[in-house]
Structure 1
Amino acid sequence: MTPDPTGAGNPAPSNPEPMPDGSNVGEVEMPVVTRGLTKRFRGGQVAVDAIDLEVPAGSIFGFLGPNGSGKTTTIRMLLGLITPTSGSVQLLGQPMPKAQLSVLPRVGALVEGPAFYPFWTGQANLLRFDAADRTADPRTRKARAGEALERVGLSNASGKKVRAYSLGMRQRLAIAVALMQRRELLVLDEPTNGLDPQGTREVRHLIRDLAGDGTTIFTSTHLLAEVEQLCTHAAVMSRGRIVRQSTMADLRSELRPRLVVRTPDPQQAEKTLASLGLTDVRRQDDVVDGDPGELPIDKLAAALVAADVRIHAFGLQHPSLEDAFVALTGEGFDVAE
């Protein structure tokens, strides 16, 4: 994640630029909006294919997809780091990159791997990035650096040279750069990359705190566990396209349980369940499963017994979000911590 002191790392101006209707940009309902956003590289490779994103204010928005699905390219276009081939981007209600001078000072952004001066201490790096911020108050710089380091758990390592930092410590230092000023929108590209389980939990807690303070969080990840445990909304990206975008509550509500029966009489079980009204009945070896809908489970069990089906195991199996996302993309996800 490369901190950007020239743009996305600047603080908010005291008088936000008004919208055409007279409201302030900080009041927009959707801090991130894209329409038909597309990026083609030389040779005709389509990295991002006409995506429409809407990120609600105050949300923790998970931008989920396998590695290489186009997440980082999308983020770079959002921040004006690369130019879209076609389509549009609005950040905080303003068109990008046209309004980047007024918008980016209110956005904290960490993109790709951490890049710091290796022979400087963590605190010295933080002070240097803040000094590059033309609107930062130098009188409070050291105090703000200390607070940012404390929030990411690096107070005890603030005087250590960055070359001695682990990858996880560098990730935390990169997040600290974005915390030097108050942000309305925080864009994080794989923020828990390289962190151990304890560090991952700490970053999750930090992101929840920031969202609780009113910051909208847009975070990309290929780790499904991050989305399950952290996010309020999600978009699933696959091969440059968004295949699903909704609240996490809606995604969970659509996961229907399946009845699973293990039996030495799979053919008879399959026939019986289909006759009872189960849909999408499937048989593999000694296991038969199907969608019971609203059918009572106890009556299904009784019907199987009445049909002389011997039952070794019987019950409902609830699909995971991993199952849903793999079904959407046709690809696997890294679901490890």
Structure 2
Amino acid sequence: MQEQSAAAPDPHPATDPHPATDPDPGSDGVGARAGAGAAVISTRALTKRYRGGQLAVDGLDLTVPAGSVFGFLGPNGSGKTTTIRMLMGLIEPTSGTAEVLGRPMPRSARTVLPEVGALIEGPALYGFLSGRDNLLRYDAADPTADPRTRHARVGAALDRVGLTAAAGKKAKAYSLGMKQRLGLAAALLRPRRLLVLDEPTNGLDPQGMREIRTLVRALASDGTTVFLSSHLLDEIEQVCTHAAVMARGRLITQGPVAELATGARGRLVVTTPDPADAARVLKEQGVGDVVVTEDRVTGEPPDRDLAELNAALVTAGVRVRGFGVERASLEDAFLALTGEGFDVAG
């Protein structure tokens, strides 16, 4: 039996005509703390300095809303993995605070972690065991798991990640993508209020990536908050509702994905059968970063009336079939905010 919540009952229940109920009466009250509108993850001035003075995370103030699919972005060395390890209680912060599901970490790790599924830096597997037997071992290590329903849980988790047919194969014979799926299955053995995934689509083919994205959306619709670290910016745009951008250990920005790109300028796009002439004219008109790709010419729009720019193209004899400014992508916003490219080893 799990530890009961230390929170006292409301002495004035009449003030709330619709009191919240914990969907798991046997839980310790973590669910009540992380209800709708609450922050499932919250850090304040979270800092990690390693021996030798290396500052990996510098004063991080992060807020992950309940029910969100939260993308965590940053180039190599930005502090993403260090942050995740502090949130999961794997390492101690140097200073600052972190709360997960409304409880301080790492002090409350034994209470919080049964409510959290995690896949961090790739799954740890026994290569000589089958996929099914690996999951049975994971489930047996959970003191809150009912052994009478263990095989049913493992079967359901394998089915959910598409590994039922390969369940009897030894893990050492799995491809990288299959190992990622098995690690995700381990994180899904029990219902979780929070799922923390570090590069969950690593090694998957396009079909596998689509399946994982669909699974993440389904988990979110069921009420699970998903905290997703990924180097695939288009993946973040497709699946995440919120995101944060890290660079050099500091938080650059955070918020709804739809709003993050608003600070970045879009790209001017000219479609023409005369790309070389169009590129020349655009450069003469002050357009920067001009790139030619077959019948498309793109560049940074200048601070001037775009109608004048279009007229200059036509006057120069360029046949313009399309002219406009494309909406800035999350990648454009990332580059504008950090001034850096994106490194997959972040």
Aligned to 2:177: 168
The DSSP-based 3-state class of the residue aligned with 2:145 is: coil
TM-score normalised by the chain length of structure 2: 0.80
1:321–1:134 Cα change, 3 Å: same
Report the Cα distance in structure 2 between the residues aligned to 1:39 and 1:54, rounded to whole angstroms: 18
Aligned to 1:196: 205
Residue 249 in 1 paired to residue 258 in 2?
A: yes
The DSSP-based 3-state class of the residue aligned with 1:80 is: coil
User: For residues 41-60 of structure 1, what are the structure 2 equivalents within 5 Å?
Assistant: 41-60=50-69
The two structures, once aligned, show a CA RMSD in angstroms of 2.8
For structure 1, which segment, 282-291 or 130-139, has the greater mean C-alpha deviation from structure 2 after superposition?
A: 282-291
Report the Cα distance in structure 1 between the residues aligned to 2:289 and 2:134, rounded to whole angstroms: 60
Shift of 1:260: 5.7
Question: Percent of aligned pairs with the same residue?
Answer: 57
Aligned to 1:269: 285
Following TM superposition, where does structure 1 have runs of at least 4 consecutive aligned residues deviating by more than 3 angstroms?
12-19, 252-261, 263-270, 281-289, 297-302, 308-314
The DSSP-based 3-state class of the residue aligned with 2:91 is: coil
Which amino acid in 1 is paired with 2:285? A
Which amino acid in 2 is paired with 1:323? D
Shift of 1:299: 6.4
The DSSP-based 3-state class of the residue aligned with 1:237 is: strand
Higher relative contact order (CA 8 A, sep 6+): 1
Residue 323 in 1 paired to residue 332 in 2?
A: yes
1:99–1:165 Cα change, 3 Å: same
Report the Cα distance in structure 1 between the residues aligned to 2:55 and 2:102, rounded to whole angstroms: 27
1:268–1:128 Cα change, 3 Å: closer
1:299–1:97 Cα change, 3 Å: same
Residue 290 in 1 paired to residue 298 in 2?
A: no
Q: Does the aligned pair in 1 maintain the 2:241–2:257 contact within 8 Å?
A: yes
1:252–1:27 Cα change, 3 Å: same
1:289–1:169 Cα change, 3 Å: closer
Q: Does the aligned pair in 2 maintain the 1:130–1:136 contact within 8 Å?
A: yes
User: For residues 77-96 of structure 1, what are the structure 2 equivalents within 5 Å?
Assistant: 77-96=86-105
Q: Does the aligned pair in 2 maintain the 1:263–1:312 contact within 8 Å?
A: no
Q: Does the aligned pair in 1 maintain the 2:177–2:205 contact within 8 Å?
A: yes
TM-score normalised by the chain length of structure 1: 0.82
Residue 146 in 1 paired to residue 155 in 2?
A: yes
User: For residues 1-337 of structure 1, what are the structure 2 equivalents within 5 Å?
Assistant: 14-18=25-29, 24-27=32-35, 29-259=38-268, 262=278, 264-265=280-281, 269-270=285-286, 282=288, 289-291=300-302, 298=307, 301-302=310-311, 304=312, 309-311=316-318, 313=320, 315-318=323-326, 319-333=328-342
Aligned to 1:276: none
Aligned to 2:10: none
Report the Cα distance in structure 1 between the residues aligned to 2:148 and 2:333, rounded to whole angstroms: 51
Shift of 1:288: 7.4
Report the Cα distance in structure 2 between the residues aligned to 1:120 and 1:266, rounded to whole angstroms: 62
Could you tell me which runs of 5 or more consecutive residues in structure 1 were left unpaired when the two chains were aligned: 1-11, 271-280
The DSSP-based 3-state class of the residue aligned with 1:43 is: coil
Which amino acid in 2 is paired with 1:269? Q
The Cα offsets for residues 75-103 of structure 1, whole Å up to 9 and x where unpaired, read as: 00001100001110001111112222221
1:263–1:214 Cα change, 3 Å: closer
Report the Cα distance in structure 2 between the residues aligned to 1:176 and 1:266, rounded to whole angstroms: 52
